[in-house]
Amino acid sequence: MEPMTESTDDTSDDATKAPSASQRRWLPVTLVVIATVIAVLSALTTWVRSQMLDTDQWVSISNELLDEPEVTEALSLYITDQLFTQVDVAGELESLLPEDFSGLAGPIAGALRGPATDGVERILESDQFATLWERANRAAHETMVNILRDETRLESTSTADGTVTLDLGEVVTNVGAKIGIPQAALDRLPDDVGAVTIFESDELASVQDGVRVLDFLSWFLFLVVVALYALAVYLARDRRPRMLRTVGLGLIIGGITVLLARGIAIRIGVNAVVDDSTKRPLAALVAGVATELLRQIGWSGIIYGVLIIGFAALLGGHRWAVAIRRRLAQTSATLVAGGVAAVLLILLWWSPGRALDRWVTALTLVGLLVGAGIALTKRIRDEFPSEVPLR
């Protein structure tokens, strides 16, 4: 009976230990899944902070839009409409025509609208207009950011109604003068001519609180993602190269998710906001340019994932990986350090997803690269102690 008792005890011990081993296997994978979900959310907060709340980026977007023929055409139609709506072109012509021909003022004014639009479109391609456009966009966005971040210290900036407008009045009058509208008529234009509302909120305080939260989350979530991925690899112990591959796969899936979400959001948003189907291509173009950083972040996640999978393979047991590690063992540690430095320089030049724009995220990425170099060096020394050591 004693042997049976011992066998029963062993079985009981194995059953007790089995869940613990299973938990050790699944916990790192669970951490990777959670980190990937947070990474997608982090991409959204980074986009809002780095592209929508950064004046230089806003100006860059507006300048890029000005290079698009669809945008130039729409803008020329808007400016022409502002001029012909606010200026009594027919009345001006009637005052200039002989009395017998005054009845032609209306038809002539209507006939001039088409050529005027073409003329305005050519004016929009000039360097002078580009300067006016950039200045107007920069002033409007700086005002908006000051309001959203509650930094309205300038007397000319008011947060009373939470409304920010893009003032194209100077643009309208400048274009009007170039197409021949009399200065006296331009002087009678209302103060709000060319005013385009770009931001309006009835609950400004809540929006300002949201912006403060986004500023914090834009870097904090990034650190959380890195910490969860690192913890998953640490807990994997003897399966760390495999877990590194899982992390890389998680980043690839996260990047693809961001790209798909961006495309779907643009389509749904444009269809919901723009009723006129003929204007939807232009709206989609504007939305695409405005969310360009999201596209960059998505592709950055995919590229990071591929690099991590490649690094995991280099640490693995493939014949080519072992051969490379052996070769590195016979050379110098400066080769590994040089590789890390080269990758770092590429990242500094590329700055994928604006990850290096803040010192917190920049230092984190540098730390990860240095850690990868140390891990590779340690693996080589442990694997080939009899070879010429790295030095």
- Is 60 exceeded by the pLDDT of residue 8? no
First CA to last CA across the chain, in angstroms? 62
- Is 90 exceeded by the pLDDT of residue 41? yes
- Is 80 exceeded by the pLDDT of residue 311? yes
Read off the pLDDT of residues 157-194 as tens digits, 9 standing for 90 and up: 444 455 667 777 777 787 777 666 667 767 777 777 77
- Is 50 exceeded by the pLDDT of residue 155? no
C-alpha R_g of the chain: 31
- Is 50 exceeded by the pLDDT of residue 9? no
Euclidean distance between CA atoms 285 and 37, whole angstroms: 28
| Amino acid of residue 99 | E
Euclidean distance between CA atoms 261 and 47, whole angstroms: 13
Euclidean distance between CA atoms 254 and 306, whole angstroms: 12
User: Which is more confidently placed, 227 or 332?
Assistant: 227
- Is 90 exceeded by the pLDDT of residue 372? no
User: Which is more confidently placed, 314 or 20?
Assistant: 314
How would DSSP label each residue in 139-204?
A: HHHHHHHHHHTT---STT---SS-EEEEE-HHHHHHHHHHTT--HHHHHTS-TTTTEEEEEE-S-H
Tokens of 71: 């945008």
Average model confidence (pLDDT) across the chain: 77
Euclidean distance between CA atoms 93 and 17, whole angstroms: 95
**Model confidence at 113, in pLDDT bands (50, 70, 90)?**
low
SS3 51: helix
CB atoms within 10 A of CB 76: 21
Long-range CB contact pairs, 68-73, < 8 A, 24+ = 68/285, 68/289, 70/281, 70/282, 70/285, 71/282, 71/285, 71/286, 72/121, 72/124, 72/125, 73/121
Euclidean distance between CA atoms 185 and 266, whole angstroms: 41
Euclidean distance between CA atoms 312 and 190, whole angstroms: 66
Rounded to 10 degrees, the C-alpha dihedral 314/386/381/236 comes to 70
**Model confidence at 248, in pLDDT bands (50, 70, 90)?**
very high
pLDDT value at position 261? Answer: 95
User: Pick from 237, 255, 285: which is nearest to 36 by CA?
Assistant: 255
Tokens of 144: 């908006």
Q: Where are the domains of the chain?
A: 28-51+216-383, 56-148+163-200
Question: Are the C-beta atoms of 225 and 38 separated by less than 8 Å?
Answer: yes
| Amino acid of residue 148 | L
Read off the pLDDT of residues 250-295 as tens digits, 9 standing for 90 and up: 999 999 999 999 999 999 988 887 887 877 888 888 888 888 889 9
- Is 60 exceeded by the pLDDT of residue 245? yes
pLDDT value at position 200? Answer: 65
CB atoms within 10 A of CB 78: 16
Q: What is the pTM of this model?
A: 0.73
Read off the pLDDT of residues 47-81 as tens digits, 9 standing for 90 and up: 888 777 888 888 888 888 888 888 888 888 787 77
Euclidean distance between CA atoms 255 and 306, whole angstroms: 11
